[in-house]
Amino acid sequence: MNNYLLIPFLPLAAFLINILFGRKYLKDNAHWVSILAVAGSWVVTVITLLDVLSGKVVNEDIYSWIVSGEFKVSVGFLIDQLTAVMLVVVTTCSALIHIYSVGYMQGDKGYYRFFAYLSLFTFCMLMLVMANNFLQLYFGWEGVGLCSYFLIGYYFDKKPASDAGKKAFIVNRFGDFGFGLGIIMIFLTFGTVYYEPVFSQAKVFAVQTINFLGYDVHLMTLIALLLFCGSIGKSAQMPLHVWLPDAMEGPTPVSALIHAATMVTAGVFLVARCSPIFSLSETALMIVALTGAITSLFAATIGLVQNDIKRIIAYSTISQLGYMFLAAGVGAYTAGMFHLYTHAFFKALLFLCAGSVMHAMSGELDLQKMGGLKKYMPITYWTMLFASLSIAGVPGFAGFFSKDEILWLAYSGQSPVGKFVWAIGTVVAFLTAFYSFRLIFLTFHGKFRGTYEQEHHLHESPKAMTIPLIILCIGAVASGWIGIPHLLGGGEHFTEFLTPVLGHPEAHGTHAEEWLVMAISIIAGFSGVGLAALFYLVKTDIPVMLAQKFNATYKVLWNKYYVDELYSFIIVRPTIWTAKNILIGVTDAKIIEAIVNGIPKGIGEFSRILRKVQTGLLQRYAAIMALGVLIIMAVMLLR
């Protein structure tokens, strides 16, 4: 039985029902369809997971999708350990966030639309992770991008929202440009785009070089990097990270589901999925690691000074995704996946808590206008606190185990940049703890700094929202426990589970070193929390003073390193300028149209001259005739 087909197609059915009948018939009951579907998916996922745990791997085609010449690809599914992990993450987070949305979106005029999109997203995401070939992966990949576009721009009547949606889509297209070419290179290299033959043959090409656009390049490096372009876009890594902070214009559940837990991690999933290719190229891995490390540092620094509660979490997401790439880049794919998995819980939770706060604050996002919310919304406070402890890497929480594994494997792995990225990772761990707790302290502690009406309105969120918070909170705390390292007496079950697909990461270090690395990361985490406490609980004038003292730095950070402005300056504006002033203004109007209209005009002029020759004077006519005769005779006789 192809039970597993229910996993993606239940949400698809829900989408179709909602989009076709939602507006007229379902209206406020639209969520039932979607929730039931995703819950069904979740149940089947669990069954499938059990199958996979018992060693059953599915890889089969459903029907032939595109056939053209030797290019053949089907719609087909692969369910192995890696897929299973993603399935669990996706269906769990999706189900919880669906439920949360019932409370959050209540009364919205596009209620059915929201749930339709959520279901569609779930379908696409599941297609993405369940594909058994690159083209179907690409289908899911673009599909989730589309849903992201829809959901970011959900409040389409607001310009910033529709701008942000568009931006997300287009920026991702840049990444997909490379991704698509990567798929084409894979086909041209292997003659197929199915995972299984590609990965099993990859080694054949380990030393192959190829001429690409006039340059001789290492084939596997080329393919890996082209694929990685896609990851950079989807997972918002530098330099294509710009869309994710803006994506916060979408409803908060969307931020939690798409822009924290699932879609943005697709890039990491892609690298993990293609690990047989990446592993053949040291250069590619190095670039992945460095991209991840630099992005995580870069985003973390921006996160330090922002005041928008969702944007801080967004930068935190970028930063954490960087972490995952850092892991993949040093060959620790399992660690990356582990962090992906824990991150899904605590980051989704953070967003949902932020949503809960917004709910209470009537949509207010500015940290500076909050404060002291702890007493009004205890559940939100506690769950968010646990999430923050998790992300800050406090021992025992999920985030601690995954982050620690990454840092340790970076430090001890084979990668030439391992030590370097470890150092960055550690700094980022400190920064992460700092900004996460800055957020907690500014939001929940101290005095309320908002308006009187806002204060009057403060309340805990409804059950539909808090229950998912609590469930996710359990995940944020406990999900890491299945990957406790041997060092701490754990079984590293997570790594073991994924080993058949991703291989076992190699670590070359002593126990002492491992302890040391762990200690440093713990210290980094705690000092971050401590410093945040100092700045925002005890000596609250320090941040202001620092901002004044290091005004230039502060400004750069506040303005996110001016990347948006840079893009606008070097890409967007020149392109539109060229379109207006060169293509329309010169080539089309002054050159092509000048010729096109010029020739008839010239003929017309000539026609008017001919008309003037026709004077009506008989003598003139006779003279012209005679002249004609003379010329003809002259020519005929003299030649």
Partner 1 sequence: MTNLTGFSMPDLGPVMPEIVMTCLALLILLADLVIKRKETIAFLSIVSVAAVTYLLVGSTGITFNGMFIADNYSLFFKLIFMLNVVLTVLISVKYIAIEKVNFGEYYSLILLSTLGMMLMASAGDLITLYLGLELMALSTYVLAGFLRHDIKSNEAAMKYFLLGAFASAFLLYGTSLIYGLTGTTDLKAISSYISVNGLSGNPVLTLSMTMFAVAFSFKIAAVPFHMWAPDVYEGSPTSITAFMSVGPKAAGFAVLGRVFMTAFGAARIEWTGILIPIAILTMAVGNIAAISQINIKRMLAYSSIAHAGYVLLGIIAGTSEGTASVLNYLFIYAFMNIGAFAVVIMLRSEGFKGDDISDYEGLAKTHPLAAALMLVFMFSLTGIPPTAGFMGKFYIFMSAISAGYTWLAVIAVIFSAISAYFYLRIVMYMYMKEPKAAVQLSVSPGIALALTITVIAVLVIGVLPSKVINVARIAARF
Partner 2 sequence: MNLNGFPILSTLIFLPIAGAVLLLLISRSNENLIKWVSLIVSITVFIISIPLFTEFNKSTHLMQFTEKHAWVPSLNINYSLGIDGISILFVLLSTLITILCVLISWNSIKAKTKEFYISILIMESAMIGVFCSLDFMLFYLFWEAMLIPMYLLIGVWGGSNRIYAAVKFFLFTLVGSLLMLIGIIVLYYQAGRTFDILELMTKTYPYQLQIWLLWAFFAAFAVKVPMFPVHTWLPDAHTEAPTAGSVILAAVLIKMGAYGFIRFSLPLFPDASRAMTPVMLTLSVIAIIYGAVICLAQTDLKRLIAYSSVSHMGFVTLGIFALNSQGMEGGILQMINHGVVTGALFLSVGMIYDRTHTRQISDYGGVASAMPVYASLFMVFTLASIGLPATNGFIGEFLIILGGFKANQWAGVLAATGVIIGAGYMLWLYQRVFFMETNQKVAGLADINLREIITLLPMIILIFWIGIYPNAFLGFMHESVKHLLERVNSGSMHEVGVAKNILEIIK
Count Cα atoms within 13 angstroms, Cβ side, for 426. 19
Q: Is 1 in the site for partner 1 (CB under 8 A)?
A: no
Residues 339-358 contacting partner 2, CB under 8 A: none
- Note whether 600 binds partner 1 by CB under 8 A: yes
- The three-class DSSP label of residue 212 is strand
Of these, 9, 21, 32, 65, which contacts partner 2 (CB under 8 A)?
65
By CB under 8 A, residue 595 contacts partner 1: no
DSSP letters along 292-319, please? Answer: HHHHHHHHHHHHHH--BHHHHHHHHHHH
Residue 61 binding partner 2, by CB under 8 A: no
Does 63 sit near partner 2 (CB under 8 A)?
yes
| HSE-CB of 456 using CA atoms within 13 angstroms | 3
Q: Which of 188, 544, 584, 624 binds partner 1 (CB under 8 A)?
A: 624
Q: Which does 534 bind (CB under 5 to 8 A by kind): partner 2, partner 1, none?
A: none
Nearest distance from C-beta of residue 97 to partner 2, angstroms:
24
- Which is nearer to partner 1, 591 or 624 (by Cβ)? 624
CA triple 370-371-377, angle to 5 deg:
95
Q: What is the DSSP string of 469-494?
A: HHHHHHHHHHGGGGG--GGGT---HH
Q: Check residue 166 for interaction with partner 2 (CB under 8 A).
A: yes
State yes or no: residue 66 binds partner 1 (CB under 8 A). Answer: no
Choose from partner 1, partner 2, none: what does 562 bind? Cβ within 5-8 Å by kind: none
Q: Is 614 in the site for partner 1 (CB under 8 A)?
A: yes
Phi, psi of 207 (to 5 degrees): -115, 10
Contact (CB, 8 A) for 418 and 411: yes
CB 103 within 8 A of CB 253: no
Site for partner 2 contains 212 (CB under 8 A): yes
Q: x/- site string to partner 2, residues 567 to 586, per CB under 8 A?
A: --------xx-xxx--xx--
Burial class for 14, CB neighbours closer than 10 Å (0-12, 13-18, 19+) = buried
Which lies closer to partner 1 via its Cβ, residue 60 or residue 593?
A: 593
* Minimum gap (Å) between residue 125 Cβ and partner 2: 14
325 and 339 Cβ atoms separated by less than 8 Å: no
Does residue number 5 form part of the binding site for partner 2 (CB under 8 A)? no
Q: Which of these, 396, 308, 307, 381, lies nearest to 350 by C-alpha position?
A: 381
Q: Cis omega before residue 239 (within 30°)?
A: yes
For residue 29, state whether it binds partner 2 (rule: CB under 8 A): no
Find the DSSP H helices in 306-377.
309-329, 333-360
**Exposure of 409 in the CB half-sphere (CA atoms within 13 A):** 28
Within 128-157, the residues that bind partner 2 by CB under 8 A are: 135, 138-139, 142-143, 146, 149, 153, 156-157
Binding site for partner 2 (CB under 8 A): 19, 23, 63-71, 135, 138-139, 142-143, 146, 149, 153, 156-159, 162-163, 165-166, 169-170, 173-174, 176-177, 180-181, 184, 187-191, 208, 210-213, 219, 575-576, 578-580, 583-584, 587-588, 591-593, 596, 600
Binding site for partner 1 (CB under 8 A): 600, 603-604, 606-608, 610-611, 614, 616, 618, 620-622, 624-625, 627-629, 632-633, 635-637, 639
